[in-house]
Structure 1
Amino acid sequence: MQPPALPYHPRQAWSHELAATIRLAWPLVCTNVTMALIGATDVLMIGWLGPTQLASASLGFNLAMLLSIFSMGLITAASPMMASEIGRKPNSVRDVRRTFRQSLWTALIICIPIWAILWNSGDLLLLLGQKPQLAALAQDYVRAYMWSILPFLWTLAARNFLSALEKPIWSLIIGIAGVIANAIFNYALIFGEFGAPALGVVGAGIGSILANSFMFLCMILVISRHKDFRRYRLFGRWWRSDWPRFREMWRLGLPIGISFGLEGGVFSVAVMLMGLISVEAVAAHAIALQIASLSFMVPMGLGQAATVRVGIGYGRKDAAMIRRAGWTSFVLGTGFMTVMAALLWIFPQQLISIFLQDAAANPNVAMLAVQFLAVAALFQIVDGAQVVGQGMLRGLHDTRMPMVIAGFGYWVVGIGVGAWLAFSAGWQGVGIWTGLATGLGIVAVLILIRWTMRARLGLLPA
């Protein structure tokens, strides 16, 4: 008979947690980077068409993302649910399968109103004060792109399953394949290469449909055939109802979705506000946001790892593990973003040149993008802190108060300060970015306070 395992020495416990977090987080981070690269590829290739096409596609894409990011939050609820189930019972199969299936249901149901709204995106953009030329071209793009949202959400559901099992490497492999597929589809359909028609921005939307469908089909193949996953039979009779689990997913996921939507909505509204300034401001904002988004993928992945690791500790009712898991991810995330802040500050022109093929021909766009990146460098640290912090709280199934904090920080402070600085104080685009930075800072501080008070607030498992 084996003697019982001795508990870790405190230093060993922290080093074990660090190793476990890095082992889980690096494929998640790299997978997030592949997702960002898909968007960056779209911006890069559409940017080759010209500033007008880039501005219109940016308006349409951000409107679509405002809705699909909310849906991502709903699906994300499956991650802490599955992690807690595995923490309570490591060999759990039925409960994990039930949660996964209801995440597929949730994705399908939420897409129906999203498609109805996005079909009328041109009218919505006109109501928001955008120029008719940009609104019309944006609608053409969105009416193609919107059909990619469902396979994207189903791919996300599969990623949540793989993360909960702490085996996200397959998400990375499929993500890399998706980047390559998206680049090929876009190049062919935007510019009419390889015998395909030249469809411009519409081609970028169709390319997104093909790329996301390809990735989901790869997920089905891996999960159904791989020896580590096939015993879960995730796609067998997935249409069977499970109303208690469905309601639990919405109870936990709705605040996450609203929080995601509030954050994504801030950046979408920022694009709309940029559209009120100039086409050059919209194009520069799109470039600066893509660069900042690439660095954001690292703390985002660490936040996802924190949700899983904290969630497992929550299921085990292990307060010490919860503490170690949360702080480990937090320090890694903020440390990385400190380095990225320095890079954005020192090398803005070199980074911008990647997305703007001929800066000399578009000097106003290049100049504005440099100014926006200067502000983006300042909020890198607090942006990383708030996303990892929210991941930590999600592991504790704490989603409602972070939603309130997000609403206050992003919209009351972020948009309020940004709009005032842009239009009343005359800072224009720089004012909008300064408001975003201020809002992110407020959210980061309040989230961190809530995490440090988790025991006093009754967030730890009894």
Structure 2
Amino acid sequence: MSEPLTAPASGDATVDFSHAWGSELRATFALAWPLIVAQLAQNLLFTTDVVLMGWLGPKYLAAGTLAGAFLMPFQLTGIGIVGAVAPLVAQARGRRDIKAVRRVVRQGFWVAILVATLLVPIVLSIRPIYLALGQDPEVTALAESYMFAGFWMLYPVLGTMVVRSFLSAFAATRVILVVTVMGVIVNALVAYTLIFGHFGLPLLELRGAALATGFVNLFMFLALTAYALTHRKLKRFHILVRFWKPDWRRFAEILRVGMPIGLTVAAEVGLFSVAAILMGRIGTDETAAHAVALQLASTAFMVPLGLGMAATVRVGLAFGAGDAEGIRKAGWVALAMGMGFMAVTCTLFLAMPQQLVSIFLDPGIAGNANAVALAATYLAVAGLFQLADGAQVVAAHALRGLSDTRTPMWLAFFGYWVVGLPTAYLLGFVLDWRGIGVWIGLATGLAFVAVLLVTRFALRERLGLLRHLVG
């Protein structure tokens, strides 16, 4: 069954590719900017928790950081898996197939429930794993209390990603921004109340932080789902109708497309986790400088990430509509925008590293001098790192719009773990370039992956990635 589709009142997002570069740029920007700001707001959720846990004391902050470091790789992997809903819904919309949209979203919820259920026993094993790795028993016990209070957040987190993917495919990205900003405010209020026991509630400390994070993710899931079910141009998809009815073909398709995405995310997160461990072996100042430079780079990364999400939708729409020229325009416009922004941040990192580092480390304190100098040096490398990181994330997302995820996964594994990590170790420890060597290794791995993924998108027709075009 096929019916004509129209877009919601969130920008001009009808399934129409004029094949004009300016039109594509405007469409991509309209789709991407709320996603970019929403990603930045999402970072504030974690930042708020870090500040509040810091008020409890160093021991609690360390425990909360350990819990987050353990949970985040699994959570991001799950988000990557269910993120396959975005290109599949976009392709169905491009084909003007309402039934396929509904079934993909419904099975996306099924996959989210399955993945969260499989991850729960893993994240609840935090204490024996950390003790085996030699972590402090008291801090580990506190980290475990956080996890046992908040493990259930995996369900609304992954469910939210399914709804976000559906909304993004129909250009309803402004509501994602509004709900995420509301989530930041709700999280700050609830976390403050539960952590410190205000307004007659018990003092829950780290358990309060975990419960607040779970509640805010549940709030965002319910708010976005309510919007999808009641918006006049979205409710006709009836995404929850016959929820319990299986569609095993689409269930398997989500896993087929999504598993490589999740594993790619895990590979990249793992690379940076190992890099942090390597920096820890070098010294405390190096570790602090690494954290500062990485925070600045990660903040800038939110922009090409949002553009990449938009590229997935735009490329997916054109792919579903059988429009090869639309695919070309959508992919290259997003890449140009991502690289253009990262060229600006590269210039800033190279031109004013001391000023940027001083946001996090006070250069007026004598004890900070070495860490500040190191962070400024790492930031210079991060400037070049920016260009590669922006290119690889946008190219990877553009390929996802074509449901091309397996080969990019292997390219990412090879680039990160066979090229990047060994280079970081060789330069940092064998040649004794220390922290700068580790950062050059990270940049090398990202650049290698960026070249391969951009080349793969450029050669998409020769590689047979468009052989399933409809139309």
Both structures adopt the same fold (TM-score exceeding 0.5) = yes
Q: Against the structure 1 CA distance between its residues 129 and 351, is the aligned structure 2 distance closer, same or farther, given a 3 Å change threshold?
A: farther
Q: Are 2:133 and 1:125 equivalent residues in the alignment?
A: no
Contact 1:66/1:268 (8 A) holds in 2? no
Q: CA deviation at 1:133?
A: 5.5
Q: CA deviation at 1:59?
A: 3.5
Contact 1:36/1:293 (8 A) holds in 2? no
Runs of at least 5 residues in structure 2 that lack an aligned partner in the other structure = 1-15
Q: Residue 74 of structure 2 is aligned with which of 67, 83, 93?
A: 67
Q: 1:402 — aligned with what? A: 408
Contact 1:66/1:265 (8 A) holds in 2? yes
Q: CA deviation at 1:373?
A: 3.2
Q: CA deviation at 1:281?
A: 5.2
Q: Matched residues in 1 for 2:101 and 2:222: separation? A: 21
Q: Are 2:389 and 1:383 equivalent residues in the alignment?
A: yes
Q: Against the structure 1 CA distance between its residues 383 and 44, is the aligned structure 2 distance closer, same or farther, given a 3 Å change threshold?
A: farther
Q: Are 2:458 and 1:447 equivalent residues in the alignment?
A: no
Q: 2:38 — aligned with what? A: 31
Q: Against the structure 1 CA distance between its residues 353 and 23, is the aligned structure 2 distance closer, same or farther, given a 3 Å change threshold?
A: same
- Cα displacement string for residues 194-217 of structure 1 (whole angstroms, at most 9, x for unaligned residues): 555554444332221121111111
Q: CA deviation at 1:280?
A: 5.9
Greater Cα offset, 37-46 or 451-460: 37-46
Contact 1:311/1:396 (8 A) holds in 2? yes
5 Å matches for 1:10-409? 13-48=20-55, 53-89=60-96, 92-128=97-133, 130-132=135-137, 135-277=140-282, 282=287, 284-348=289-353, 350-352=355-357, 354=359, 360=365, 363=368, 369-409=375-415
- The amino acid that maps onto 1:24 is L
Q: Matched residues in 1 for 2:291 and 2:61: separation? A: 8
TM-score between both structures, scaled by the size of structure 1:
0.89
Q: Matched residues in 1 for 2:241 and 2:169: separation? A: 20
Contact 1:17/1:324 (8 A) holds in 2? yes
Contact 1:36/1:297 (8 A) holds in 2? no
SS in structure 2 at match of 1:435: helix
Contact 1:141/1:205 (8 A) holds in 2? yes
SS in structure 2 at match of 1:404: helix
SS in structure 1 at match of 2:463: coil
Q: 2:439 — aligned with what? A: 433
Q: Matched residues in 2 for 1:175 and 1:71: separation? A: 19
Q: CA deviation at 1:29?
A: 1.2
- The amino acid that maps onto 1:144 is A
Q: Matched residues in 1 for 2:286 and 2:127: separation? A: 20
Q: CA deviation at 1:74?
A: 0.9
Contact 2:363/2:372 (8 A) holds in 1? no
Q: Matched residues in 1 for 2:156 and 2:125: separation? A: 21
Contact 1:51/1:279 (8 A) holds in 2? no
Q: Matched residues in 2 for 1:351 and 1:181: separation? A: 29
Q: Matched residues in 2 for 1:16 and 1:437: separation? A: 34
- Cα displacement string for residues 250-274 of structure 1 (whole angstroms, at most 9, x for unaligned residues): 1111111111111122223333444
Q: Against the structure 1 CA distance between its residues 303 and 236, is the aligned structure 2 distance closer, same or farther, given a 3 Å change threshold?
A: same
- Cα displacement string for residues 35-89 of structure 1 (whole angstroms, at most 9, x for unaligned residues): 1222232334444556655454333322212111111111111111111111111
Q: CA deviation at 1:455?
A: 1.0
Q: Against the structure 1 CA distance between its residues 430 and 381, is the aligned structure 2 distance closer, same or farther, given a 3 Å change threshold?
A: same
Q: CA deviation at 1:114?
A: 1.4
Contact 1:359/1:366 (8 A) holds in 2? no
Q: Against the structure 1 CA distance between its residues 203 and 344, is the aligned structure 2 distance closer, same or farther, given a 3 Å change threshold?
A: farther
Q: Matched residues in 1 for 2:74 and 2:55: separation? A: 27
Q: Matched residues in 1 for 2:34 and 2:119: separation? A: 30
Q: Matched residues in 2 for 1:273 and 1:141: separation? A: 27
Q: CA deviation at 1:109?
A: 0.8
Q: Residue 463 of structure 2 is aligned with which of 451, 457, 461?
A: 457
Q: Quick one: percent identity of the two aligned structures?
A: 45
Greater Cα offset, 432-441 or 367-376: 367-376
Q: 2:420 — aligned with what? A: 414
Q: Matched residues in 2 for 1:308 and 1:279: separation? A: 43
Q: CA deviation at 1:108?
A: 1.0
Q: Matched residues in 2 for 1:53 and 1:421: separation? A: 35
- Cα displacement string for residues 214-260 of structure 1 (whole angstroms, at most 9, x for unaligned residues): 11111122112221221112123323211111011111111111111
Q: CA deviation at 1:460?
A: 1.3
SS in structure 1 at match of 2:233: coil
Contact 2:300/2:342 (8 A) holds in 1? yes
Contact 2:159/2:221 (8 A) holds in 1? yes
Contact 1:80/1:395 (8 A) holds in 2? yes
Q: Against the structure 1 CA distance between its residues 295 and 417, is the aligned structure 2 distance closer, same or farther, given a 3 Å change threshold?
A: same
Q: Against the structure 1 CA distance between its residues 61 and 30, is the aligned structure 2 distance closer, same or farther, given a 3 Å change threshold?
A: same
Q: CA deviation at 1:119?
A: 1.1
Q: Against the structure 1 CA distance between its residues 278 and 44, is the aligned structure 2 distance closer, same or farther, given a 3 Å change threshold?
A: farther
- The amino acid that maps onto 1:443 is V
- The amino acid that maps onto 2:457 is W
Runs of at least 5 residues in structure 1 that lack an aligned partner in the other structure = 1-6
Contact 2:17/2:318 (8 A) holds in 1? no
Q: Against the structure 1 CA distance between its residues 201 and 380, is the aligned structure 2 distance closer, same or farther, given a 3 Å change threshold?
A: farther
Q: How many residues align?
A: 452
- The amino acid that maps onto 1:313 is A
Instruction: Give the CA RMSD over aligned residues.
Output: 2.7
Q: Matched residues in 2 for 1:125 and 1:275: separation? A: 17
Q: Matched residues in 1 for 2:53 and 2:414: separation? A: 34
Q: Against the structure 1 CA distance between its residues 391 and 359, is the aligned structure 2 distance closer, same or farther, given a 3 Å change threshold?
A: farther
